[in-house]
Structure 1
Amino acid sequence: MTTHLKPEPAEAPPIDASEPVSRLLRDLRTTPSGLTAREAARRLQVSGPNALPSHGGHRWPLALLRQLIHPLALLLWVAGGLAWVAGTTNLAIAIAAVILLNGLLAFVQEQQAEKAVEALGKYLPDRAPVLRDGQVWHVPATELVPGDVLVLEEGNRIPADARLIDGTVDVDASMLTGESVPVTRTADARDDAARPLDSPVLVFSGTVCVAGAAHAVVHATGRHTEIGRIASLSSRVGREESPLERQVRRVAWLIALVAVVVGVGFLPLGWLAGLSWPAAFVFAIGLLVANVPEGLLPTITLALAAGVRSMAKAGALVKRLSAVETLGSTTVICTDKTGTLTRNEMSVEEVHSFGDALVEALVRCSTADVTGSSGDPTELALLRYAGSTGADLSARKALYPFDPRLKRMSTVDLVGDALWVSTKGAPEQVLPRCTMPVGERTRLLALVDEMAGRALRVLAVAGRRVPALPGSREETETDLDLLGLVGLVDPPRPEVAAAVADCHSAGIRVHVVTGDNGRTAAEIARRVGIGADRVISGEELAELPEPALDEALTANGEIVFSRAAPEDKLRIADALRDCGEVVAMTGDGVNDAPALRRADIGVAMGIGGTDVAKEAATVVLTDDNFATIVAGVREGRRVFDNVRKFVLYIFAHAVPEVLPFLLFAVSGGMIPLPLTVLQILAIDLGTETLPALALGREPAEPGLMSRRPRRRSEGVVTGRMLLRAWGIMGLVSGVLVLGAFFAVLYAAGWHPGADVTSGALHAAYLQATTASFAAIVFCQVGTAFAARTERVSLRSAGLTTNRLLLGGIAFELVFAAALIYLPPLQALFGTAALPGWVVAMLLPMPVIVWGLDEVFRWATRHSA
């Protein structure tokens, strides 16, 4: 039996699309009248569909599994297994529930669909007009093949990479090049461009024909196109852990190591203290649980989620939770120009008028329509300046459209009972056709150079009255009177300058990475306050060795990278990261997608940005406002500070939870356990959770945006934090907890070694462990207030400025009271009602814990 296998699409042979048309047609085995339908169908089998490569579905089960096997989760699984083996089924079930709850919460918050490559497909039109069998056919764009001849007209989105074989078109290629001004492509131009995107004879898939008409022969389809190459770059660029993710992972491994060492090390001590092996297992589990802050990861997740909501209100949609913190640690922003620093809309900025008829000439010499927003962007800007929707076409007697080679256009219109010629175009083409003294022309050309040096696109406008309709274009465009010079620019957004100033005050450098030309980009950069100390073109960058690039990027100053290709943006992002910088890359075009994925934080424009950029980025600005990035930096720094605050708060409780077990082990069982495992779980998951979450919403401390960005290597946990958590608040809390425990036991007549498992001392023992539990809760109140600030006093932060914290403290006190005084919960957690004198002993504990830390912060402020 013979099996026929469908052959895989073959690799497209290398084609030099810039070679002469006759040779290109020969190499593609086609003609100016296109392919036959039969040949096109055959080639489709060989080359494959004109579509971008797609990838498999999302592997969400693996993502969920990762949330259940991180270091702290593995450690808790071990503790739960030991609890099950030891016969404490309720404890094992409680631990498993904690793991599953934490994992599901993190999974839901982190789940993100990777759709960058799929979004690229939206830039390909559904159908395209082509010549086949000598006639115009509208075929599905996916069925285009090399050798097809496209029919390009105004408004068409170009469906494949092609070479013009006749005609002239203006193309909006900003989604690939970053240039805000449409580029002209003409079939008979000389191709001496350094890169394909700048070729005057090539057009590319996904760009838009905004004016003109032409025929073009397809030389690349699908993944072989420029947009396909970018799709391949995007799919190959993977995401890396954020600084916070790395630090949390390290902290998790550190905690796991400490918990394992302590638990395993004290397991034989429990047995030596007289416990049975099952009881010793429970003792070891208690140490494990006491050393593992079960609420740490969900608290971080929820704090980041709160930061995401705050940033959404400010105009930034964050697609990955850790991106909030990453934005806060940013040291360098690499920003696009068009649509990011600027409005992506041409406008008239400067006018030199030499006649009263300038505005009228601008209106008449146009083919655009402001009302319908159709036409060339430059003409639309001129009409907006003139305050008109366009000329009266019924009065137009002749139109000489814009010619890329002549660089000018003209109209002849009937104004009243007279005929008027109106001409506009490049000054070097229009001025020689105007009647004026040589000295005046020299002065005007100098003025044009000066305006161009300020990144203005300069147009000369001229006109004259004629007695009769001229017979030719040459006759029409002679002996003109100069009416004025108009300077246009894609202006900066008004709020960007203040945002850049905020970046500088926060110690963040801003580089411009754009596909536009260097002079324009540098001028825009200077206008918004970016240094632009050096301009490096794409060609220069390609020849720049890695050490030289690193030296340029690490030098004090800011750089404008012009004519940057997608690979250039990737290289810049990699170089900055290798130099230890945390990089935020902004952009809005398809060409930005690979770099947006590679940077530490990719920031896309939500309104003017392409779907490709939005899918590739981790942050999308819904208002396209560069200033929102600065708001994001501020929010990110606040969130990271608050993460440290509740980590400090959680760590401080490890000491009073571990000390009772150590005391039991060191005493050889002479001192009973001052705290039970279930009481520890009630603390870690019940009483401390809401205050910890409230600390995640703490307002920013003064001077937040005047600090230098923290180093990439700087961790969440610092030596100062551990000193405060363990050496001050933790140690003081541990002493107070043990003091409450022993006070209750001694009041009942207990002495070391006495049996507390039965009789009158058993009731006292239950009250003593309950006093330990309550003392930890009261110390938590003091810890919460102390953790609200890093250095400043609580008075300067305001006692009641965090209402959520006050509510969280109220909840933990009510929750603790329920565990202590409600009989069903007493039976479950081994608690007993406390007498009034014990409650009175607990009341000053919050003030003691907070007060000693306040003294420490006062001392460090004054020593600094």
Structure 2
Amino acid sequence: MTSGTSSRPSRPSSVSAPAADDPSDPSLREAADVARELGVDPVVGLDDAEAARRLATDGPNELRSRPPVPLWRKVLEQFRDPLVALLLVAVAISVTVWWVEGADGVPVDAVVIAAIVVLNAVLGLVQESKAANAVAALRSMTEASSTVLRDGRQVTVRSAELVRGDVLVLTEGDAVGADARLLSATALRVQEASLTGESEAVLKDAAVLPAAAPLGDRFDMVYKGTAVAQGVGRAVVVATGMGTQMGAIARLLDATEEEVTPLQREISRVSKVLGLTVIGIAVVVMVLAAVVNDVRTAEDLVTVLLLGVSLAVAAVPEGLPAILSVVLAVGVQTMARRNAVVKKLHSAETLGSASVIASDKTGTLTKNEMTIQRVVTASGEVALTGVGYRPDGEVRAGPDGDGGPLTNEPLLREVAMVLGGGSLANDAQLVEDDGEWAVQGDPTEAAFLVAAHKLAGTVDRVAEFERRGEVPFTSERKLMSALVDPPGDGAWALVTKGAPDVLLGRCTAVQVGEGTVPLDDDRRGAALDAVERLSDRAYRTLGVAYRRVAEGLGSEGLEEHESDLVYLGVVGIIDPPRPEVTAAVAEAHRAGIRVIMITGDHPVTATRIATDLGIVEPGARAVTGTELDGLDGPDLREATRTVSVYARVAPQNKLQIVDALQADGHVVAMTGDGVNDAPALKTADIGVAMGITGTEVTKESAKMILGDDNFATIVAAVRQGRVIFDNIKKFLRYLLSSNMGEVFTVLLGVLFAGVVGLEGAAGGEAVVVPLLATQILWINLVTDSGPALAMGVDPETDDVMARSPRGMHERIIDARMWTGVLSIGLVMGVATLLTIDIFLPGGLVEGTDSLAVARTAGFTTLVLAQLFNVFNSRSETTSAFHRMFAGRWLWGAIGLGVLLQVAVVQVPFLQVAFGTASLDLAHWGVAVAMASSVLWFDELRKLLWRARHPGAVA
């Protein structure tokens, strides 16, 4: 039995239907004519020599894959980042200055920056290689094969070796290796969900189509990438490789351009802004330094140039590319441990920015396991608990099962006869392997076997019957019958199941308890009302009936006995939602993310599932692909703003939806498993393929693959993506504000050298600066590496799913962050210069120390201020004391930074290298106190912001 709907629904095509007069369409031609044109005898098949010749001419039956990217190109890709280019320019300038100064020693700053650039490239290569290996591990390890006729013999060949003209021999469980025109079909049903999105297996018929039809309605064709669910058949191959429908979709993928991620766009923008800013600041400082210090000699000019380069190095966060790669890599590894394999590092953050998740239904939101949930008989209605193929559950009285365990004897007997009869008129099998249950055959038929296990004694009773014959299902009859021999000496029975309206037309009586009564108009009307009620609730309906027949009746002429039947009842079948999806959808909604269902199924079924999962409210409507085709740009965008369920859609409709959402400013995550999903997955900001049920084309197109096909994993990945984004903002806030502190220290120190006493303490120095170039480099090494990296892997400190997604055009570094960055940098610079002033003679405060000591104290103040700034930067609005001890890596990095600073100040050989002098406790006390001003200033700023924005979520 293969179909229980009263009419066979049409489905959308993955490609446009051919013109009615297209002579090349094999679905519109007799099978014998197609075989004759291909030069093959359908009874004998091709001979080996001819098959080899055609294979050499046409090429293997494989989809064209892109050539592997050579290693040198992968390496160059790592250096395309504008910030990396800026760092390479800084290296060139540093080497030039080193050369002008006489090439004495090693150009430390150039070496360090170059090492960071190389480290960043290595990290990117390693992580992308790991992701590629993880994707490869998800692929099937077995090579597809097909059974064909060669020289009149059935042989098994690699599907890649199929050629046009090969005669496929199709049996239950086979994968269809190529597009083919059916020569014969007996109860042949093919699962085409991977190609059309239709969850129900499609009945096939070798008869020629009367007119051109969409792909899903070409019932005389079978297609590469689909699977035989039931029956047998033979077909002649008409297309292989890129000439198949799968190949058509693969070509569509080649024409679909990938968008750069929001993070890549933002980092590129920040890099350009930083580049221009650095150049501007460096030029201004060099000019001011030259004017203020009255530079006249070449030696003085080199000193000024070195100051400009040092300031450029201070302003540029050299560690940003490496830290960004590390943060993304750590996040990607965390996702991988949770079965979400991200193929590109930057895609991890994009998922966290998603404002819409557009998901396929079958196998993604649902289990793809047809389940009987309702049975209606003459005495009432019952509900069956449990979902999927595991035969756990029970039969409960009442439409919703609220009547408790079924104890009503008449109703109990009727339900047992319905489930038993459906299990007898059945070609499927239910098998268990190590506790895992699976079906062989049509999933709808298997639903009866599973349901029978839930009613005590039914399976044992069915096992006692012996099958003597059958009448297979056909689309014209919409029925299937089985002739069974009951145990003992009882009369044989003909058990029939099929479309309820057709079945009722062949019934004259109805089962009531242990007896039968005539099927009068009232009872017939009640039965039809039950069918309509189930259909309105999105159940697929199948009726079951029987009649007694003479013992010894054979299969010949059995169809004539499908009349005067006794109607038993009707079942309601549905593909149940995955149990964890409801909570995942609720979590997505809490995070401000719309969940959209896009499916090839019937609108009623789609709406019912979407309602059950909480995607839409009760009463919401679905928009079909046909309706979408009639919408222009503005109307389409308006529809996508309000509609969350799309049914009977074709791949081009999915692309329309994704494009409309993106045009409306959304970051779209598109999930799917079938070939028909691949173009939309590639177009979406983040394409998410199913690792278990997904096709290879889909996995290649996606940016992320779910190893467990679990929708809840997507939401978990969204959370991790948001944590990644938060951590990126943390270390950007930290790096930029700290580096601005260095810029303001040098800039204000040059401008106000006389005010803070630097001019009077110059001694023999031609150009007086508050910090030496080596000290600036040291600050970058100590504070821009460890603390920034620790912030990048900081644990989630706030509920990241309690806020709405950031807008498509929302800046990572927005006006509020820039205000904080500049204000904190200014406080750092002022605190550093005031510390220098405190210890120098003259200036605002009279001191008694040498320039070396005062500069060392200022140098230490700036380092400690940046370490205090670690706590500020964890949030723009939350107090630094909130969960201050949550990140152990932060404390480790801060502790290491303090130890290194003590060493560079107190260890003699480091004093020589970095121009420092020893400090006593008083100096250290002043430096700590002045550095802490950064923390108190930012606490006051956050307090004022929270007072102005009570209840706001940052």
Q: Please, what TM-score do these two structures have when normalized by structure 1?
A: 0.90
Q: Is the 8 A contact 2:357 2:595 kept in 1?
A: yes
In structure 1, the partner of 2:192 is 173
Give the counterpart of 1:59 among 63, 70, 74. 70
Give the counterpart of 2:833 among 738, 741, 748. 738
After superposition, where does 1:86-101 map in structure 2 within 5 Å? 86-87=97-98, 89-101=107-119
After superposition, where does 1:155-170 map in structure 2 within 5 Å? 155-168=173-186, 169-170=188-189
Deviations 1:139-192 (A, max 9, x none): 443333323322222222111101112223111112112222211111126455
After superposition, the Cα gap between the structure-2 partners of 1:850 and 1:618, relative to the gap in structure 1 and judged at 3 Å, is same
Q: Is the 8 A contact 1:674 1:768 kept in 2?
A: no
Give the counterpart of 1:414 among 474, 486, 501. 486
Q: Answer yes or no: is 1:774 the counterpart of 2:860.
A: yes
For 1:24, the aligned partner's letter is: V
Instruction: Return the offset for 1:243.
Output: 0.6
Greater mean alpha carbon deviation, residues 527-536 or residues 732-741: 527-536
In structure 1, the partner of 2:808 is 712
In structure 2, the partner of 1:8 is none
After superposition, where does 1:508-657 map in structure 2 within 5 Å? 508-531=593-616, 533-554=620-641, 557-657=642-742
Give the counterpart of 2:448 among 382, 388, 410. 382
Instruction: Return the offset for 1:119.
Output: 11
Q: Is the 8 A contact 1:191 1:199 kept in 2?
A: no
Aligned residues: 839
Instruction: Return the offset for 1:490.
Output: 0.5
Q: Answer yes or no: is 1:345 the counterpart of 2:369.
A: yes
Q: Distance in 2 between matches of 1:191 and 1:381?
A: 34
Q: Distance in 2 between matches of 1:587 and 1:835?
A: 66
Q: Distance in 1 between matches of 2:143 and 2:494?
A: 40
Instruction: Return the offset for 1:837.
Output: 0.8
**What SS class does the counterpart of residue 543 from structure 2 fall into?**
strand
**What SS class does the counterpart of residue 653 from structure 1 fall into?**
helix
Instruction: Return the offset for 1:30.
Output: 4.2
For 2:92, the aligned partner's letter is: G
Instruction: Return the offset for 1:700.
Output: 4.1
After superposition, the Cα gap between the structure-2 partners of 1:857 and 1:541, relative to the gap in structure 1 and judged at 3 Å, is same
Q: Answer yes or no: is 1:74 the counterpart of 2:169.
A: no
For 1:738, the aligned partner's letter is: L
In structure 2, the partner of 1:456 is 539
Q: Distance in 2 between matches of 1:119 and 1:309?
A: 15
Q: Answer yes or no: is 1:405 the counterpart of 2:476.
A: yes
Deviations 1:348-396 (A, max 9, x none): 1111245242333233332222126322212222111111499548822
In structure 1, the partner of 2:392 is none
Q: Distance in 2 between matches of 1:93 and 1:696?
A: 24
Give the counterpart of 1:684 among 780, 788, 806. 780
Q: Answer yes or no: is 1:304 the counterpart of 2:328.
A: yes
In structure 2, the partner of 1:359 is 419
For 1:86, the aligned partner's letter is: V
Give the counterpart of 1:800 among 856, 868, 885. 885
**What SS class does the counterpart of residue 214 from structure 1 fall into?**
strand
**What SS class does the counterpart of residue 424 from structure 1 fall into?**
strand
**What SS class does the counterpart of residue 713 from structure 2 fall into?**
helix
After superposition, the Cα gap between the structure-2 partners of 1:822 and 1:854, relative to the gap in structure 1 and judged at 3 Å, is same
After superposition, where does 1:487-506 map in structure 2 within 5 Å? 487-506=572-591
Q: Distance in 2 between matches of 1:83 and 1:750?
A: 36
Q: Is the 8 A contact 2:667 2:685 kept in 1?
A: yes
Instruction: Return the offset for 1:251.
Output: 0.4
After superposition, the Cα gap between the structure-2 partners of 1:700 and 1:137, relative to the gap in structure 1 and judged at 3 Å, is closer
Q: Is the 8 A contact 2:190 2:228 kept in 1?
A: yes
In structure 2, the partner of 1:231 is 250
After superposition, where does 1:214-293 map in structure 2 within 5 Å? 214-272=233-291, 273=293, 274=295, 276-293=300-317
After superposition, the Cα gap between the structure-2 partners of 1:350 and 1:848, relative to the gap in structure 1 and judged at 3 Å, is same
Q: Distance in 1 between matches of 2:931 and 2:135?
A: 55
Give the counterpart of 1:18 among 17, 23, 27. 27
In structure 1, the partner of 2:167 is 149
In structure 1, the partner of 2:871 is 785
Q: Is the 8 A contact 1:125 1:158 kept in 2?
A: no
Which residues of structure 2 form unaligned runs of 5+?
1-21, 379-413, 433-438, 454-458, 509-518, 763-767, 950-954
Q: Distance in 2 between matches of 1:844 and 1:664?
A: 20
Q: Is the 8 A contact 1:72 1:253 kept in 2?
A: yes
Q: Is the 8 A contact 1:371 1:389 kept in 2?
A: no
Q: Answer yes or no: is 1:722 the counterpart of 2:818.
A: yes
Instruction: Return the offset for 1:342.
Output: 0.5
Q: Distance in 1 between matches of 2:478 and 2:284?
A: 84
Instruction: Return the offset for 1:788.
Output: 1.9
Greater mean alpha carbon deviation, residues 740-749 or residues 564-573: 740-749
Deviations 1:715-742 (A, max 9, x none): 1111111111212x21111111112223
Q: Distance in 2 between matches of 1:777 and 1:118?
A: 46
In structure 2, the partner of 1:486 is 571
Instruction: Return the offset for 1:587.
Output: 0.8
Instruction: Return the offset for 1:195.
Output: 1.2
**What SS class does the counterpart of residue 26 from structure 2 fall into?**
coil
Q: Is the 8 A contact 1:740 1:838 kept in 2?
A: no
For 2:659, the aligned partner's letter is: D
After superposition, the Cα gap between the structure-2 partners of 1:700 and 1:49, relative to the gap in structure 1 and judged at 3 Å, is closer
After superposition, the Cα gap between the structure-2 partners of 1:250 and 1:822, relative to the gap in structure 1 and judged at 3 Å, is same
In structure 2, the partner of 1:10 is none
In structure 2, the partner of 1:83 is 94
After superposition, where does 1:809-824 map in structure 2 within 5 Å? 809-824=894-909
Q: Distance in 2 between matches of 1:292 and 1:191?
A: 71
Q: Is the 8 A contact 2:184 2:235 kept in 1?
A: yes
Instruction: Return the offset for 1:441.
Output: 1.5
**What SS class does the counterpart of residue 843 from structure 1 fall into?**
helix
Greater mean alpha carbon deviation, residues 23-32 or residues 45-54: 23-32
**What SS class does the counterpart of residue 276 from structure 1 fall into?**
helix
Q: Is the 8 A contact 1:492 1:528 kept in 2?
A: yes
Instruction: Return the offset for 1:338.
Output: 0.4
In structure 1, the partner of 2:524 is 441
After superposition, the Cα gap between the structure-2 partners of 1:461 and 1:539, relative to the gap in structure 1 and judged at 3 Å, is same
Greater mean alpha carbon deviation, residues 362-371 or residues 281-290: 362-371
Which residues of structure 1 form unaligned runs of 5+?
1-12, 753-759
Q: Please, what TM-score do these two structures have when normalized by structure 2?
A: 0.82
Q: Is the 8 A contact 1:51 1:121 kept in 2?
A: no
After superposition, the Cα gap between the structure-2 partners of 1:102 and 1:286, relative to the gap in structure 1 and judged at 3 Å, is same
- Percent identical: 41
In structure 1, the partner of 2:5 is none
Q: Distance in 2 between matches of 1:655 and 1:92?
A: 21
Q: Is the 8 A contact 1:400 1:410 kept in 2?
A: yes
In structure 1, the partner of 2:385 is none
**What SS class does the counterpart of residue 204 from structure 2 fall into?**
strand
Q: Is the 8 A contact 1:649 1:784 kept in 2?
A: yes
Q: Is the 8 A contact 2:465 2:487 kept in 1?
A: no
Q: Distance in 1 between matches of 2:354 and 2:637?
A: 18
Q: Is the 8 A contact 1:317 1:620 kept in 2?
A: yes
Q: Distance in 2 between matches of 1:347 and 1:734?
A: 69
Q: Distance in 1 between matches of 2:251 and 2:787?
A: 47
Q: Distance in 1 between matches of 2:633 and 2:135?
A: 30
Instruction: Return the offset for 1:444.
Output: 1.0
